[in-house]
């Protein structure tokens, strides 16, 4: 019983008619006692109807904001991201997920809540409880109940349009006509956002008492770029969730309908080496930290974000975008093509603004924020940017972090033909 009471959320739940007096299993915490997922908590809104790509992206960011889900990428750790991608890809074909990914994800408090936790854009997890009750018809007399804490972790493939889902039941409790031999069927599948999304296998059924002995079971979800109408990245936005059913020993069944429906995005953008998928219920954040030999750049970004009125060029009411935490869900930066037309326009406007500064000292470069590789750079035309002469080594080392960040968090391009943008990110300095 202790294993159950330690889990605070019930993912699966009984029919709405299950309201009478009966020996309900004492699973402490928030219980959604309905077979419908309509009653998702307000901090985890469910997808409804046919949504546009922009609406889906906004919903993901709203989920992330309400739940404080942040993919925090430290500038001093970017060198390790390629190794992490290789680890994730290797784990997808393994019999079980590695502890190096599982433990830090499960340790987060959001892993024990509906919606789970996004460790980074490639790893999602949750630790919740399956709970089902059965009732006799027509009088609704209690027949049986079971509860089973479980773990689930999903890995978005950084090298293909696939998401791999691992699941295990750790223990169980039962009452009434639910016994250790009662069959319980589980399946993960693409949910409301299912265009181009398929799962490799269907239902998995075991007796309730056998589920803890199975260890990890797994499914693979694939995103078919041919189903995308977006070009050239071939973006598809999908989500997934658990479904299932169980029969007690009297032959009465209960539908199991999962409340967590994590969103993910797959693309085949040609400016990355391979197609890939990422989880999107998270705020992408580049965290420029002190102590990595570009402190002057960190200082500049902090000034630009927190005190734009003292920055150059002067402008009344200047508001510089990209600061984390977001002021709103449209305040992020939009990546543009390196050396493309917007990048070149930004560089030209930056050089013009730098020429109006006092002459630099030897060994200084002119730094700009927002970055030239974003839509909101100096060439955007609204004057909401900052330029400053800094140590050239600091400037170049900090700028060299950007390509690695864009690759790791899979930040897609903005262009004038894509409205609204496919992606955005925020910057924390210091």
Predicted model pTM: 0.91
- The least confident of 8-12, 230-234, 358-362 is 8-12
Q: Looking at residue 13, what is its pLDDT?
A: 35
pLDDT confidence band for 425 (50 / 70 / 90): very high
Which residue reads 């970055």 in tokens? 371
Per-residue pLDDT, 385 = 98
| Closest alpha carbon to 371 in 339, 407, 333 | 333
Long-range contacts made by residues 101-105, C-beta under 8 angstroms, separation at least 24?
101/153, 101/155, 102/151, 102/153, 105/153
List C-alpha distances in Å: 362 to 56, 120, 367, 391: 49, 41, 15, 9
User: What is the structure's pLDDT at 140?
Assistant: 87
On average, the pLDDT of the chain sits at 89
Find out whether 102 and 111 touch, Cβ atoms under 8 Å: no
Over 50: is that where the pLDDT of 297 sits? yes
| Each residue's pLDDT tens digit, 298-347 | 999 999 999 999 999 999 999 999 999 998 888 999 999 999 999 999 99
pLDDT at 41 exceeding the cut of 70: no
When pLDDT is cut at 50, 70 and 90, the band that residue 419 belongs to is low
Angle value at C-alpha 308, between 66 and 414, nearest 5 degrees: 60
Compute the C-alpha angle 189/191/195, nearest 5°: 100
pLDDT digits (tens, 9 = 90+) for 231-242: 999 999 999 999
Flag whether pLDDT at 19 surpasses 60: no
Could you read off the pLDDT of 207-251 as tens digits, one per residue? 999 999 999 999 999 999 999 999 999 999 999 999 889 999 999
- Model pLDDT for residues 379-411, shown as the tens digit of each residue: 999 999 999 999 999 999 999 999 999 999 999
- Buried/exposed 329-360: b ≥16 CB within 10 Å, e otherwise: bebbbbbbeeeeebbebbbebbeebbeeeeee
369: which 2 tokens?
Answer: 């924020």
- pLDDT reading at 6 higher than 80: no
The secondary structure of 121-189 as a DSSP string is: TTEEEEEEEEEEEEEETTTTEEEEEEEEEEEEEEEE-TTSSEEEEEEEE---EEEET--TT-EEEEEEE
| pLDDT band, residue 355 (cuts 50/70/90) | very high
In the chain, % of residues over pLDDT 70: 88
For 148-187, write each residue's pLDDT tens digit: 889 999 999 999 999 999 999 999 999 999 999 999 999 9
């Amino acid at each position: 019983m202790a294993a159950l009471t330690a889990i605070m959320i019930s993912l699966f739940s009984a029919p709405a008619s299950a309201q009478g007096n009966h020996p309900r299993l004492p699973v402490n915490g928030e219980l959604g006692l309905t077979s419908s997922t309509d009653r998702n908590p307000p901090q985890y809104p469910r997808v409804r109807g046919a949504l546009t790509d922009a609406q889906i992206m906004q919903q993901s960011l709203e989920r992330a904001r309400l739940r404080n889900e942040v993919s925090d990428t430290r500038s001093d750790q970017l060198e390790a991201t390629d190794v992490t991608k290789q680890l994730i890809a290797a784990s997808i074909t393994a019999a079980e997920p590695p502890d190096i990914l599982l433990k830090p994800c499960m340790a987060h408090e959001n892993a024990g809540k509906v919606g789970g936790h996004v460790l980074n854009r490639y790893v999602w997890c949750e630790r919740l409880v399956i709970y089902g009750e059965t009732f006799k018809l027509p009088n609704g007399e209690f027949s049986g109940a079971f509860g089973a804490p479980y773990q689930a972790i999903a890995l978005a493939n950084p090298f293909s349009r696939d998401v791999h889902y691992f699941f295990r039941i750790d223990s169980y409790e039962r009452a009434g006509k639910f016994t250790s031999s009662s069959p319980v069927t589980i399946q993960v599948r693409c949910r409301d956002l299912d265009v181009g999304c398929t799962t490799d296998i269907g239902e998995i059924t075991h007796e309730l008492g056998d589920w803890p002995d199975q260890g990890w079971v797994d499914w693979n979800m694939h995103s078919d770029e041919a189903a995308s109408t977006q070009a050239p990245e071939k973006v598809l936005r999908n989500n997934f969730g658990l479904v299932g059913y169980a029969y007690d020993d009297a032959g009465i069944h209960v539908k199991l309908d999962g409340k967590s429906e994590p969103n993910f995005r797959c693309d085949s953008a040609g400016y990355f080496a391979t197609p890939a998928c990422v989880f999107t219920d998270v705020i992408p954040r580049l965290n420029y930290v002190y102590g990595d030999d570009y402190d002057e750049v960190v200082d500049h970004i902090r000034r630009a974000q927190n005190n734009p009125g003292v920055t150059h060029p002067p402008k009344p009411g200047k508001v510089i975008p990209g600061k984390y935490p977001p002021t709103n869900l449209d305040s992020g930066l939009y990546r543009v093509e390196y050396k493309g037309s917007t990048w070149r326009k930004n560089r030209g406007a930056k050089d013009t603004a730098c020429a109006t500064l006092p002459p630099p000292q030897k060994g200084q470069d002119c730094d700009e924020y927002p970055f030239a590789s974003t839509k909101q750079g100096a060439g955007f035309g609204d004057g909401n940017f900052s330029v400053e002469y800094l140590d050239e080594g600091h400037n170049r080392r900090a700028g060299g972090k950007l390509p690695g960040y864009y690759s790791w968090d899979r930040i897609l391009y903005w262009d004038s033909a894509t409205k609204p943008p496919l992606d955005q990110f925020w910057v924390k300095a210091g």
